[in-house]
Amino acid sequence: MPPCPALTQGKNKIELRVKKKLAVIAIGGNSLIKHRSQQTVEDQYRAICETIRHLVDLVEHGYQLVITHGNGPQVGFILLRSEIARKEIGLHIVPLSSCVADTQGAIGLQIQQALTDELEKRNQVAKAVTIVTQVEVSPTDPGFEAPDKPVGEFYQADQLEELIKQHPGWILKEDANRGFRRVVPSPVPLKIVEQEAINALLADGFQVIAAGGGGVPVVRGKEGLSCVDAVIDKDKTAALLATNLQAPLLVISTAVEQVMLNYGTTQEKALGRVSLQEIERYFQEGHFAPGSMGPKIEAAISFLKNGGKKVIITNPKNIGAALACGKGTQISR
């Protein structure tokens, strides 16, 4: 593959001299927690180590990686601790933007350590780094008027009455037959503020962890950038990042092996190789839940329409097999 052409964003320009193929990988936040009984930091690190072993298969296929990740449950833990601390000792509430930044650092560190160790084991160049990433959104984005992004834990129907009493401002919606979750505004990502830093690190041979949790949402005003109380969908940010980098491959790692039509019904059907036109039709027919598979499919469509070649959606253990023998759901132009 020839070197990537120079990329321009904003006023400055930086040349990418990347000799390897680029793959942008989006790891689901819930796939880092295998079970409700396995939610500790140590449990999550073990899950990350297992996922990273599969991602390094891509490195051995000649890919350089840009990894982003979800953070819904982890943000939920921080918010819960913050609420308990407020009630018990009057400590201040942690803003949602700070929760996203905190999880970028904490989860990014675990991915960085696991990735470095696995690369060393396989005699690959062990250079990995995490960037706390801001993503610019529009202050007039319609997402602020219609919150729909799930964050935090899953709750059951019998918990709703007490939750509403405790948090009258929360909006709770059912999430793909898995329970109820809090939803918050989810504006569309417009610009990755640290894009040039990502470019420079890739050019220097690093595997990069960036835009965790979709990035810290910021708006630009007269005084510069300021954070907003929202969450950007990490798959949409991954698609924007992959488009900016002109990466040929976007991998969306999730908890299931394949995308399903008629999910949760007796007419379930797994999707293998599908075209952009087919997946667009299924999306328009409403097969994919807004709080679950919907944003992943929307991100895949956006990436392919903006020049991407292939999207793979599967669980971590099938990522290597997806490249080698077509496992998972593979969407291409």
* Active site positions, annotated: 29-30, 149, 234, 296
Could you tell me the CA-to-CA distances from 6 to 3, 157, 200, 203 in Å, in that order?
Answer: 9, 52, 11, 11
Q: Which one, of 78, 84, 65, 143, lies nearest residue 104 by Cα?
A: 78
Q: Which one, of 273, 256, 263, 262, lies nearest residue 311 by Cα?
A: 273
Quote the distance between the C-alpha of residue 5 and its chain's center: 25
Burial category of 207 from C-beta neighbours within 10 Å (exposed 0-12, middle 13-18, buried 19 and up): buried
Residue 164, classed as helix, strand or coil, is: helix
Residue 303, classed as helix, strand or coil, is: helix
DSSP 8-state code for residue 27: E
Give the separation between CA 92 and CA 95, rounded to whole angstroms.
9
- E-strand spans in 132-280? 134-136, 149-155, 171-174, 180-184, 191-192, 207-210, 216-221, 224-227, 249-253, 260-261, 269-270, 273-275
- E-strand spans in 238-278? 249-253, 260-261, 269-270, 273-275
